[in-house]
Structure formats: C-alpha cells, structure tokens
Amino acid sequence: MPTNVVMPQMGESIFEGTITKWLKKVGDSVQRDEPLFEISTDKVDAEIPASASGVLREIKVAEGATVEINTVVAVIAEIGEASGGGDAVTVDAAKEAKASAVATAPENAHEPVPPPGGGSQPSAARQTENKKDEPTPPPADGDPLNAPEGFANSTASSSASNGSGAGPGTNVVMPQMGESIFEGTITKWLKKAGDTVQRDEPLFEISTDKVDAEIPAPASGVLREIKVQEGKTVEINTVVAVIGGRGAGAASPQTSPSAPSPDKKQAAPSAPQPQQAAASASAGERIRSSPLVRRIAKDNNLDLGQISGTGSGGRITKEDALGHLSQHGKGSAAPAPQASAPAASVATTSPAAQAQPSAAAASGAQVGAPTPGELVPLSKMRGIIAQRMVESKHTSAHVHTVFKIDMTRIVRLREKEKSKYEQRNGVKLTFMPFIASAAVTCLRKMPIINASMEGNAIRYHQNINLGIAVALDWGLIVPVVKQAEERSFLGIARAIADLAARARAKKLKPEEASGGTFTITNPGIFGEQFGTPVINQPETAILGVGGMFKEPTVLTDADGNDTIAIRSIMRLTLGFDHRIIDGADAGKFMAEMKKTLENWTGEIG
C-alpha cells in the first residue's frame, strides 16, 4: 500500500512550510529516513527524511509552493506497486500545478491529513516504522470531522463508509496525545475481536510519557481485527485495529494475523545479532535509526556507532538508545554485549527453567539455596518516571530546605467551615488549597522561584502554573493548574479537585499535564514527616508537603512570656535548583510561606 508523505509541523507555532527543493524525482527509489525534500519555515530550514522505503510514485507539491502542515506532498509506493500505478505525475506536471496552487485555497489544492483529536500531526521524520504496511490515507470523502472529538484518527474505504461492511473498514490508529509525544503503549483492550462497538465508546487504554488515557472508537461497527496487543509500544499513527461495518465479521476471534503471538515473537530469528549490527556500523555502512533515536542521541551526546541495534536489519531502536543511556550515561560508549548474555537472561527468568529442578536440587544438595524472584518489566509510565527523575538529577543542582509551619489557625478554620463549605461549593475543603494559594502569593513576591533555566539565561514566567502531583495506583502524574495567579481560593480548590479526579479516571488531556512552572507534591498524606522531592524539569523548585502532627510547641506572648502548647505542625520542604536560586532566596520564600500560613486571613469562598 502507498504511504503519504506530509508537510511536517516543525514547531508548535508553525502552521505552514515551503518546499524549497526535492532531493528525489518521480520514479526514484528511496530508503526510509533518507533525505527526501527540503523545506523552509519562519523558524527553520530543514531536510525532511522519507517516511518509508519504496519508489517515489507521485510529487503533489512543486518546489517553491507553500502549503499548510499535514498537507500530503508526495506518495511513496512499495516496489511492486510502482510499475502498476498510472496516476503518477512528473516533476514538470507538479511544477505546472504550482500556478493553480497559488490561485486555489490550500484545502482545494491538496489533501490534508487530519490530526488526531485535533492535535498536530507528527513530522515526516517521526512517521511510524510500520508505515510501509499501515499507511494513514486521508479520511473518507476528505472529511476531517470523521475523526471523533476524542483522540483516535481513522480512515475508511468507500464501502466501509457506506455501511456495507466490506473492504478494509475503518483503521484505528495510535493517536498523538501532544506535540512532543511520538509513541504510546496499549495497556488494555476494552473490547475483543468480534465485539460490536459504538462510535466514541471507549475502545482501548494507552499510556504515554504525559498521560494515561482511554481512547474512543472512531466509528461504529464490529471490531474486526486487533493488530497491536496489550503491552506493546508503537509510534503514533500506527494502525492498531480495524473496525468493519455492522455486517462485517471479525477476521479472528483472538489475535489478528498482523499481531504475532508471544511465541512467535520469541522465536523470530530474522533480527540480526547485536554483534552483526555493531560490525556493520564499524565497517562504514550507514547507521540505521529513526529520527526519534537520532534526537535522543543528539540530546545526550551519544555515538550511535557505539550502540548495538536490535531492530530489523540492525536498526537502532529507541529501547536500544535508552538502554545504552541508562547503563552508560551521556556521551559514553558501551562495549559490544556478549553473545551468551541474552540466552543467560532468558534462562534465568524462563518459567520452564524454574519449573524443572536440577538433579542436585532433587538430591537435596541445593536445599535452601536462594532463588530469583519474579522479573516484571517496567510499565510505560514507570519507565518514563525513571527516565525523568534521572534526567532531573543530572540537570539541576538539588538543594533542600525544611521549615516547620504552625497550621493550628488553618486547622481550626477548616474544622469550623468544611461541612458548610462543601455544601455551598460542591468541593471538599482540604489543606492543599491553603498551601497552593499561599504559594501563589509568595511566588508573586519572589518570581525567581517561579523561573526556569533556558541555556545560559533565566526565563521569568509571566504566569504561575501550579503542578499538583497526583499519586495513581499505576504511577504518578502532575496535572497543572494554569494561570493560578488569576484564580480565587475557591477557583484553585475546584481546579485541583477536578484535575485529580480526571487524572485517576484517565480523562486528562495532554496539555493539562504539561507547562507547569512550580510543583507541589503531598507525600505527607501517608504520614511522613517530610521528604526531599526531585525537581520537575524544566522548573527550578518544588514544594514538598509533610504530614500534619500535634506537637508540643513553645509559644511566646507579647510580653515575652513562654508557654508550652499542643499545636498542629506541618513541615514544608523546598527543593530548589542552586544554579539560579541561592539559599538566601529559598529561605526568604519559605519564611514568607510560613508567615502567610500561620497568620491566615484570606477568604476561602
């Protein structure tokens, strides 16, 4: 099947690009990731690589033409398809089309590919590795509204769209959940092959490095085929399932032919050995990797020639790059792995190996010997958390300061008002809005705590976007209360309750879990005195909230007389980046927090 090549989005604020040069002509063979054309935008000039291997069958946009992002600019056909296609245009024909492109609206001149869920499409450099087999053609009848308001993008054949149930049906793709998200992991299928599904009904759950979310069905019909199984990570726009018309039956009640069983995955012998990949790189052959892998290598100063590729044909996968980074650090080279290492690893964790006791164990010689526990791979979210925490420790010079806060005044106010407050406002009165409101007040006075580092400069943010860490059964997420400085106490309380509830229900939007400028985390709910939290990059400070404890405290009256009283004490910890925040500034901020909370006079709504 052909693969559409689209005008990529080269940045959040870029909506169009100009093709300055085609590096291939119609009929030329192209390799995936080989430079295909050059573009110019208002921010960058760039070479765009081919999204698939094959033959350049058609050039739709000539050199010099400016088109909107996601416009189809070319078509790459598989080798066997190229000779049969009679609809290919020549470069000259494409140039002749330039005049009409100038005079005609972009939507009439080209074929835009609708972004999933209204978000941005990935650049051509980020196309899925499965694109060759699973292209994303434009929606039926050119209607971008075919995609639901949720997230899943779909394409349908004419037979599927007219309800006959024949033909390829409606493709369900891995959605793009944000501009910087290139892949997702299917954590759970909510339907099985053969089930009837309704449009916008939850179909499967995914996990990305920003959010966990339920993805709705893009059309009504029968779930004919599941192409990607639970636990598998694929790039955005990969076709993960097919929905047929109501008359269509499932291709298989279990797994589709495209989704190999676990046994087949383990037995696949076609992938080259890591030593072979390393040897080919050292022999001067072109290193095969995706744009995402090259970006990881560039950001972390990695030499791709030193990384063994385990993908098809020796391709270096994202897992190869991240594994090398976690094991050897930035800018380092790793020795080639021993051939026996993978086999040894499998043998240690194989259930069959554990089920068969050795002769020595059977004779009693090994009684009491230690046995390995269960080896469970990291979930998508857990892996991302691990990566982010290590990156933060490598990036920021972490320092922590702890202050004791007498919360007695607020405790008494809350006990007096909480019932009426919930009846009046429909939200519970917790301690978090008090702390968040106090933080906003203090951040206004000390903007350096709300700043971030950009290269060799400091970015002073105009808005205060409060990240509120939410513990989930499967990990941790930080939804963000945007423009908190413009919200009242009640507005902050409602926003925190809403974001936390939707985070636990997997209903957050990607933009609601990004863009924070200062984070508050509350591990004190589990009873700890205080913690030393890790800074949420690219922020420069994080506030840790400890538990509330009744403690004997010395009180001094206006005449200087001391007494001991039982007070409600909480410890707040400020973790800050010493590169731009001095200890004096951190101390001033926390002293202001202490003063604001201990002498609370604010309205609570």
Longest dimension (CA), the chain: 98
The one-letter amino acid at 277 = A
CB 500 within 8 A of CB 511: no
Marked catalytic residue, from 28, 92, 195, 582? 582
Task: Give the Cα separation of 119 and 111 in Å (integer).
Answer: 17
Task: Give the Cα separation of 287 and 118 in Å (integer).
Answer: 35
Does the annotation count 582 as an active-site position?
yes
Close Cβ partners of 357 (under 8 Å, ≥ 6 residues apart): none
Task: Give the Cα separation of 459 and 457 in Å (integer).
Answer: 7
Marked catalytic residue, from 92, 143, 394, 578? 578
Please report the DSSP string for 110-164 in residue order.
S-BPPPGGG-PPPPGGG--TTTTTS--PPPGGG-GGGS-SSS----B-HHHHTT-
Q: How many residues does the chain have?
A: 605
299-321 exposure pattern, b = at least 16 Cβ within 10 A, e = fewer: ebebebebbbbbbeebbbbbebb
**Residue 397: both structure tokens together:** 């010079």
Pairing relationship of beta strands 221-226 and 562-577 according to DSSP bridges: unpaired
Residue 402 main-chain phi, psi, to 5 deg: -120, 130
Give the C-alpha distances (Å, rounded to integers) separating 163 from 137, 173, 220, 243, 513.
19, 20, 10, 11, 38
Look at the alpha carbons of 481, 484, 488, 489 in this order and tell me if their dihedral is positive or negative. positive
Task: Give the Cα separation of 176 and 7 in Å (integer).
Answer: 16
Does the annotation count 328 as an active-site position?
no
Q: CA geometry: angle at 9 spanning 8 and 13, to 5°?
A: 160
Q: For residue 450, how many C-alpha atoms fall within 13 Å in the half-sphere facing its CB? A: 22
Closest by CA position to 297, among listed 277, 289, 387: 289
Edge-to-edge strands, sheet with 72-77: 3-6, 72-77, 54-59, 29-30
> Dihedral, CA atoms, 112, 113, 119, 124, nearest 10 degrees?
-100
464-499 exposure pattern, b = at least 16 Cβ within 10 A, e = fewer: bbbbbbbeeeebebbbbbbebeebebbbbbbbbbeb
Known catalytic residues are 578, 582
